[in-house]
Structure 1
């Protein structure tokens, strides 16, 4: 899971909202067996819920009700008097019914797809969904108010009295109970945002102007803000698939829903003055990414009136115990229903046990002040307000009182002052610092405006340096610093040499994102792990310090790299770069690996060192990329965007003693593919050509991988420098089915494993001119020019929720010396 550690930062803090009616318990049949998906509603209202897979439910309301209605197809409807405002241990027994609903066929268990009135209504929804809501108008404008809150849940006396909260007991003075789960919780984070949205359906354009943003608790922590923004992406229940946590869930309104869900027409009634149908849905199979719930739909427009979606407990999703969504639509005119309120609750926890503690993430979005058919020029949609304008974050109370489309309760208002108080508590500051270190990899030294790290690069090992230790630091005044300096020093205990790197970058123009940067690095590096030569002053490949490797990891290079770059972003997500690099390269272990080449001007006619000055022009286009922050370093908050990369390199001979004159053109295109219920695919295509004779250090090495880690864009059955090219085409494909296949195997589906397949291939050439120039090298130089070299892999992910293992197979070139026909690699991480 991306940025998983910041979630645990929210494990600390208060809310009070006294509900008038609370009910909870279990629904069973005459034999005491649980009744899942039973409908529970306060009598005379549309406030209700559905029992979970185990028949349990919890429901609350700010209104006082005196009775509860419980129903399910095939059972008698039961009206239960509520003698007290809080009745949380109910056991509701439903009696089997001998009658059928008027004009509705009774179904139990798996529902038929034929002669089912609920599915007939569903088909009408499909026909009308493209002309419902905002789609009916040429242009639209509306106000949007969003409130995001995080709460620590399952508060009990043991937690309150634990040493964890010693000195912070005051935060537990007021607690509340979730109307969805029935758990006590304690709010610890609140963010409010008010925006005005403009759209044009004819142009296919939309613009959002953020007019106010107010943050409590962790407003200066960019990692947390990025996590929150990425967590709650927009969705449309009318679409076939809803994307949450990088997973695609089948919508109950999907055109594929008939094969995924059971549908039951449960009721029909007037909502306001409109006749509506109530449809209950629940999944046909376990362990799939599905919901359960119900929705009300108008009988003439077949537009939604309201809908709720609750994640099934067996869904193949990590770290999320509950996911609940409510959407309410309002009648704008006689036939137009527009989204009024969208509520989403997520219960993050280490496991799905009933009593496990976790963190609630809640987002409430309210929409109002709709206007239609006000035409604006196309240029209007290209220029949006600056979401990082400091004035947006400095709105006074008067602004929020006027623009909150839903009022905060007293305890939500109290979060702002509570967090200010907590920050003065030493124990809280210690917890905050610990989680911040784990999330960012840096130790903050506030009084020096310095960060030490990163902590994950302290120890490494390779054949040239032996054990290696590294320490680094960077300037850090705030998340939006206009400049940053960074550096490190390292020491190898085998070669007994000190290495270092230092870099700096400055943001010269914020609007154009004009950045100047430069630096110098002297270190040992495993080159050839990417087809594109490194120009990253401080970057270091995984293979350069991997403790566990396959075979000899001795093809290492002493690198002295100096760079200078200018980068600008004239249009959103289009970055242009121009710069220069001066590299000096020689082998770190000449006896095992040499960079020797023919040089008539050198003693003996052979040189072992390359000195090269390159002028580099680049273009990076990332449509759909979202970032946060406006300083010299911004943070990405999403992963589902394509990347087009083009680089032109011109090597200059003679200037600054540079050795070679050549040109190199390289391009790559990477794209993620959300394939609905079939999972997620990621593909990359790379091409490149080098013109002119150059030594091995300047050629394109097909990236092998001798580590035990699964690294995308490498070939795990290739040794380093096994294939070298000056012309190449490479492709990579990896598809994660997200458990779709394993979920259909009864013996293993409860393990929630995920199946991954991969296919990789490369074709390339090495000219005779380059082969001759590099003839003194002590490793064979060959290219995959006879046929496309390819590999394929079969992987199993989500082992114990954090491990993945890949079985990699070499498809050809098996007769080469030291060819590895098979390998096993793996990786670990926190993924949803």
Structure 2
């Protein structure tokens, strides 16, 4: 949902002009565009390359008198710059009449053999772990990062639009991007200063955030989480660089020779070091690749500087351009250390040149390098909280002393402008609208209350008919030590009210000792998940789907009370113990009963289950990143694995509980980034119940009778079609991210993405448990004789938001009402 924050496009300003600006197009004698030509300010290392259409734009804080334009096979052209701003330039390159001895000329696809550029690339591979901080046993350095968002492509029509009526003052000063040549309006700025420590011998690293500051949104978790997740650290020497959930092939990758064309373009002294310049560009369109060039030293084969620009044909949504620059300084004559990293992203609804959008710019500056100063292993285990108030509330003097790159007048103006905008009612309205879309809650600041979530207001099922729901939660800030939340719902079909209420209290921040309790009375579709849950506020899609496959009438009434205690003894390791008491019954007894044999009942049969249960859980999420240090933290990434182990004990007769049993369950979910081959998501689950229990306490294999694609369910199974007391289940879903479709000429421009899935389950159901639930009016069956399995093929990124899956049932086709084929889909905003 945080992707919706890209709509945070309006407001704020103040930007000054650079000293020299140039822009235009480079063509040959026939008027054809020259792609990937080098454009350089004479006497400097400031430059760029032309895009696919021969166009270029760049700017400099310094004054320059001339521009040099060159490309292999053409004569270098020097163009005097008579003014500070030179737009709409047309540079015509003439074919070279001289044969170059030191550089081989390549046109189109370059040869993988007898190519001096690839020979240099191979030496980069062999040396990459011997460069930079990898050369030392221990290292430490200072890291200063600023992230800025700008509204771009400002024109007179936008300024005069109704959206900005009353906010015209924000357009007082506008500036032009040195990368794209577009006007832009700054709207957000975040600064962070950290100290980073590493030990190459022990493969340990930690980052201590000393200060963090952002312009006006300190209390909005959704915005902060979005910014934190948007720009991850990366190493250009890695084979793949991950941006926006996608893995781009690095031009320094060992697989790069199959993905890029490389050309040895030039050689020159840079900072008294002889370096080669290599131009690279993709061999194929529609793949996740870059174009650009880099300078590399001729002895250490360390990169001196590099720029990367994502091609416009790349299969990525909502991002029109990505441009990266990295600079390295030479230390002690042979050590190349990263000193500056700049990344610009142009977010837009489409990739047309004149489309409006938002720039996201991250600048990271490194300095204060120190080496071979050992620290004990325990030092790396202690982590600082980047959202601790002591980190967030730094005085101006701290920033003046620790900014490795000073804010310019325009950046300083963002803070001032936001202070002004927060007093403008219209801005508040826009901000609230975006916040609601992103978080799902309506903020009522004067009451310290959020209303919502708004996405659960309406629902429908066969037991309740049309259903409406309203909820609220306390919210003083992202570091709240306690939180109360709840909802009330009403079904027009059964004419009944339902409710849920929950409370959490963070008793100790250091150990994250949390006490929680809740109560819920509602109608729910149970059996949509194998792993047990005591969530009193959540609701499955299956309980509210307006359209379903077949009769979706196997719904239950649930009256649930819970009490839990949780602690985090180690980072990303949570231990939870608790108890729950629930009463289960059928919401539509004629269609679906939970009847079981009960000798103590007058009729010998009971229809409701009263059950008290104690449970102990261990949840391990290595690699998970969160923000906030309150009772509820917000996740900022989704590429971590999850291991879950739970042991449950049902106690008969305690509080009139009906059954004695023991249950153990385990699940392991792992996302796998497979570089250029996409992303695989895998889950394995297993569990066993010891003791005799009726249908309501057994493990139903999660079916799916909705038209939504829901991971970890079986799309061609009805609810309760299979019921088990022992099970092993696995799910695999792989998204190729368009790797196959990008090679099919007719459809490669559509940027579709291929998804394949495979899932299976095996389970048993004891004769004793079958006999106990004999009065139930559904057939009890487990996939014991053979593994039940399904497979699916899907097409994603249809119109950038739609995914359609075609699901096939592998066996058990003789089951009553078995569905051999089905179509499901989902909507979402994905990069």
Q: TM-score range by the shorter chain?
A: over 0.9
CA distance in 2, matches of 1:37, 1:813: 58
Match of 2:7 in 1: 8
CA distance in 1, matches of 2:821, 2:357: 42
Q: Deviations over 1:220-254 (max 9, x none)?
A: 11100000000000100000000001100000000
Contact kept in structure 1, 2:22 and 2:87, CA below 8 Å:
yes
Shift of 1:217: 2.1
CA distance in 2, matches of 1:256, 1:549: 46
Per mean C-alpha deviation after superposition, the further-off stretch among 40-49 and 799-808 is 40-49
Secondary structure at the residue paired with 1:758? strand
Match of 1:669 in 2: 668
Match of 1:744 in 2: 743
Match of 1:92 in 2: 91
Contact kept in structure 1, 2:670 and 2:681, CA below 8 Å:
yes
TM-score normalised according to structure 1 size: 0.99
Contact kept in structure 2, 1:24 and 1:57, CA below 8 Å:
yes
CA distance in 1, matches of 2:385, 2:431: 30
Match of 2:484 in 1: 485
Shift of 1:12: 2.3
**For residues 11-160 of structure 1, what are the structure 2 equivalents within 5 Å?**
11-160=10-159
Match of 2:314 in 1: 315
Shift of 1:10: 4.0
Contact kept in structure 1, 2:127 and 2:301, CA below 8 Å:
yes
Match of 1:292 in 2: 291
Shift of 1:533: 2.9
Per mean C-alpha deviation after superposition, the further-off stretch among 164-173 and 240-249 is 164-173
Match of 2:630 in 1: 631
CA distance in 1, matches of 2:309, 2:808: 41
Shift of 1:699: 0.4
Match of 1:612 in 2: 611
Per mean C-alpha deviation after superposition, the further-off stretch among 703-712 and 218-227 is 218-227
Match of 2:690 in 1: 691
- The answer on 1:656 being equivalent to 2:655 is yes
CA distance in 2, matches of 1:213, 1:459: 40
CA distance in 1, matches of 2:72, 2:410: 40
Q: Deviations over 1:718-769 (max 9, x none)?
A: 0000000000000000000000000000100000000000000000000011
Secondary structure at the residue paired with 2:603? helix
Match of 1:733 in 2: 732
Secondary structure at the residue paired with 1:531? coil
Match of 1:258 in 2: 257
Match of 1:470 in 2: 469
Match of 1:818 in 2: 817
Contact kept in structure 2, 1:100 and 1:106, CA below 8 Å:
no
Match of 2:338 in 1: 339
CA distance in 1, matches of 2:398, 2:261: 47
CA distance in 1, matches of 2:36, 2:535: 55
Q: Deviations over 1:418-462 (max 9, x none)?
A: 101100001000000111111111111122111111111111111
Secondary structure at the residue paired with 2:761? strand
Q: Deviations over 1:596-651 (max 9, x none)?
A: 11111112211111000000100000000000001111000000000000010000
CA distance in 2, matches of 1:545, 1:16: 50
Contact kept in structure 1, 2:40 and 2:46, CA below 8 Å:
yes
Secondary structure at the residue paired with 2:718? coil
Shift of 1:389: 2.6
Per mean C-alpha deviation after superposition, the further-off stretch among 447-456 and 811-820 is 447-456
Q: Deviations over 1:458-515 (max 9, x none)?
A: 1111111111111111111122211111111111111111111111111111111111
Aligned residues: 831
How well do the aligned residues superpose, as a CA RMSD in angstroms?
0.9
Contact kept in structure 1, 2:14 and 2:170, CA below 8 Å:
no
Contact kept in structure 2, 1:621 and 1:643, CA below 8 Å:
yes
Match of 1:528 in 2: 527
- Structure 1 stretches (4+) deviating beyond 3 angstroms? none
Match of 1:722 in 2: 721
Q: Deviations over 1:21-51 (max 9, x none)?
A: 1110111122222111111111111111111
CA distance in 2, matches of 1:557, 1:389: 43
Contact kept in structure 2, 1:133 and 1:336, CA below 8 Å:
yes
Match of 1:270 in 2: 269
CA distance in 1, matches of 2:47, 2:539: 55
**For residues 247-646 of structure 1, what are the structure 2 equivalents within 5 Å?**
247-646=246-645
Shift of 1:200: 0.3
Unaligned 5+ runs, structure 2: none
Contact kept in structure 2, 1:188 and 1:217, CA below 8 Å:
no
Shift of 1:17: 2.7
CA distance in 1, matches of 2:543, 2:104: 67
Shift of 1:388: 2.7
Secondary structure at the residue paired with 1:4? helix
Shift of 1:532: 1.9
CA distance in 2, matches of 1:195, 1:477: 27
CA distance in 1, matches of 2:387, 2:102: 57
Secondary structure at the residue paired with 1:484? strand
CA distance in 2, matches of 1:141, 1:448: 46
**For residues 770-785 of structure 1, what are the structure 2 equivalents within 5 Å?**
770-785=769-784
Shift of 1:534: 2.9
- The answer on 1:796 being equivalent to 2:795 is yes
Contact kept in structure 2, 1:796 and 1:805, CA below 8 Å:
yes
Secondary structure at the residue paired with 1:508? strand
Contact kept in structure 1, 2:388 and 2:629, CA below 8 Å:
no
Unaligned 5+ runs, structure 1: none
CA distance in 1, matches of 2:360, 2:569: 36
Match of 2:702 in 1: 703
Match of 2:166 in 1: 167
Shift of 1:98: 3.8
CA distance in 2, matches of 1:732, 1:745: 29
